Structure 1
Amino acid sequence: MARYEEIAQDLRVLITSGEYPPGAALPLMRDLAEQYGVSDITMRRAYGLLTGEGLIESRGRSGTFVREHPDRLRLTVRTRQMERDELGYYSGPETQGWRPLQLPDGEQTQVVTLLVPADIADTLGVAPDTRLTVRRRLIGDPDVETHRQLADSWLAPWVAEELPLLSGRTGLGGMYDRLEEWGSQPLQWREEISARMPSPEEAAALVMPSTGVPLLRTLRITYFAEAGPERVAEVQDIRMSAAVFALGYPLPRGESARWPVEPATGDYYQDPPEA
């Protein structure tokens, strides 16, 4: 282990144990460099590791401080299910009051044609260098600045061709109502959840620290019930801050785990194993 990694580990233990609580100022780098007998460069690398982990943050001339870490917070748990009210579909009861917020260009919905990301291209069955119609929105709680998400809806080519109105205002009920009206059948959804670090633009839009906090990324895949999951109509790329949100969902039993089950070790309570 390099010397800067050893120093970072020492400081990490002091932070996670509460010796340096959230909001506490860390010693000046030059003082720690003298204490450890290392150069300023070594200390900067140690602090850089902890910054990248989201444990500390620099506040310019004020110094370096311990950040409130997600593991010590009670995150808002987002339930992964589709709900509906008089305005249309929404994803989970926690977001019912959320509304479109203003994008940097001043619009609430930006409809543009862009190169599709490779993983979304694969899901839609198109080449990675394909340009597709995407509806881009920033949605959130008007009363809580950090409770928001970016949502980019990538339309399958056949959907954009059959429903050109989705390239403009979709009206009450939104895109999903228009799709169900057109198809005369219900939509179904599945989701894939991952995490990555945000771009500077994403961090700014989601009111996130510029370093040390990952995005939670959910790809919501939309298809018609009769057509099946292979004929995808839309993929929504949803990003939210992992410093604010966790994702929660029920964990159903598979067919092989249907109750009652045969105990793996026989009748434990009648014939317990010897100590």
Structure 2
Amino acid sequence: MSEQPPYLRIADLLRQRIANREWTPGDRLPARAALAEEYGVGDNVIRRAQELLISQGVLEGRAGSGTYVAEPRERLRMVRSQYREQTGGSPFRADMAVLGKRGTWESRTEAKVPATADIAARLGIDEGAHCVRTAYEFLADGKPVQLSTSWEPYDLTAGTLVVLPEGGPHAGKGVVDRMAEIGITVTHSVEQPEPGQASAEEATLLGIQRGALVTRIHRTYFSDDGRPVETADIVVPAAQCEIVYEVPVSR
């Protein structure tokens, strides 16, 4: 078995010293050179260890000042449940209302975007077939908490009042309600969550460090005849939000 990389070992040691309250929230850590000498490693090892802990929300870097123990932040609890689709309107807005927050979003839609191989497979269409793609930035009380890129088959909604998710008389409604307007009954969705790290663009939009831990969710909605009607890539910052799944139990 390969030995643990030095920067991971140092990150564990720093994390333990914080857990033991040797350093408390708001405390400035010793300079990298001092920590490198203390642990007998190079400055680069300390830098990588601190960057990892910053991405996990344990530390925070302040330009021109140093590295500090981060203040504990309350994580936003985001519940994924079948019941969120039964409220009408926007599921995200309903989710935020439960938490006492104002849910809003910004979006950008492009029509007739060729489907990539991955998106085509998820939607059951040919690669290169036209889709309506919408990029979302979701906000809770004005602060970014989630990104999403949605894809819908263009031939499904072309010529209808719901072809643009954020345009027309049904703008801003969830997928379930919009599809119902054109006679399509959405019965369920499938979600596949996996851990990841924020890209440079994602970090900028979410206001987090590049490489910070995120939860990626691949979600696809299906109609009552089993056809995929929408698929989305959702990105949630792990240090700010926790994902909880509510699963119904049948008797």
Normalised by the size of structure 1, how large is the TM-score? 0.70
The answer on 1:243 being equivalent to 2:244 is: no
Using the alignment, how far apart are the partners of 1:176 and 1:99 within structure 2? 18
Q: 1:82 to 1:10 in 2, by over 3 A?
A: same
Shift of 1:182: 1.7
Q: 1:189 to 1:65 in 2, by over 3 A?
A: same
- Picking from 1, 21, 25, the partner of 2:24 is 21
Shift of 1:238: 2.5
Using the alignment, how far apart are the partners of 1:198 and 1:240 within structure 2? 9
Using the alignment, how far apart are the partners of 1:61 and 1:196 within structure 2? 29
Q: 1:112 to 1:201 in 2, by over 3 A?
A: farther
Shift of 1:42: 3.9
Q: Which amino acid aligns with 1:84?
A: T
Q: Which amino acid aligns with 2:103?
A: W
Which position in structure 2 is the counterpart of 1:105? none
Instruction: Please tell me whether Structure 1 or Structure 2 has the larger radius of gyration of its CA atoms.
Output: 1
Shift of 1:41: 3.5
Shift of 1:64: 1.1
The percentage of counterpart residues that share the same residue type is 28
Which position in structure 1 is the counterpart of 2:65? 62
Using the alignment, how far apart are the partners of 1:140 and 1:100 within structure 2? 6
Shift of 1:155: 0.7
Using the alignment, how far apart are the partners of 1:38 and 1:217 within structure 2? 34
- Return 15-24 or 39-48, whichever deviates more: 39-48
Q: Which amino acid aligns with 1:181?
A: E
Shift of 1:63: 0.5
- Which deviations, in whole Å up to 9, do the C-alpha atoms of 1:154-194 show, x marking residues without a partner? 012431446485147232364644421222x5322313142
- Picking from 103, 128, 140, the partner of 1:98 is 103
Helix, strand or coil for the counterpart of 2:143?
coil
Runs of 4+ aligned structure 1 residues displaced above 6 Å come to: none
Which position in structure 2 is the counterpart of 1:124? 123
Which position in structure 2 is the counterpart of 1:192? 191
Q: Which amino acid aligns with 1:153?
A: S
Using the alignment, how far apart are the partners of 1:179 and 1:5 within structure 2? 48
Q: 1:163 to 1:74 in 2, by over 3 A?
A: same
Which position in structure 2 is the counterpart of 1:145? 143
The residue correspondences of 1:1-275 to structure 2 (distance < 5 A) are 1=3, 3-68=6-71, 73-80=73-80, 81-85=84-88, 88-91=89-92, 93-96=94-97, 97-101=102-106, 108-114=107-113, 116=115, 119-126=118-125, 132-141=131-140, 143-146=141-144, 148-161=145-158, 163=160, 166-167=163-164, 169-172=167-170, 174=173, 176-183=176-183, 185-194=184-193, 195-214=195-214, 216-225=215-224, 227-228=225-226, 231-253=227-249
Shift of 1:125: 1.9
Q: 1:236 to 1:163 in 2, by over 3 A?
A: farther
Unpaired stretches in structure 1, ≥5 consecutive residues: 102-107, 259-275
Flag the structure with higher strand content. Answer: 2
Using the alignment, how far apart are the partners of 1:134 and 1:163 within structure 2? 16
Which position in structure 2 is the counterpart of 1:272? none
Shift of 1:28: 0.3
Q: 1:7 to 1:171 in 2, by over 3 A?
A: same
Shift of 1:127: 5.1
Alignment RMSD: 3.1
- Which deviations, in whole Å up to 9, do the C-alpha atoms of 1:218-253 show, x marking residues without a partner? 33322322x13xx11111333222222222233344
Aligned length: 237
Q: 1:109 to 1:22 in 2, by over 3 A?
A: same
Q: 1:159 to 1:42 in 2, by over 3 A?
A: same
Using the alignment, how far apart are the partners of 1:164 and 1:58 within structure 2? 48
Q: 1:115 to 1:25 in 2, by over 3 A?
A: farther
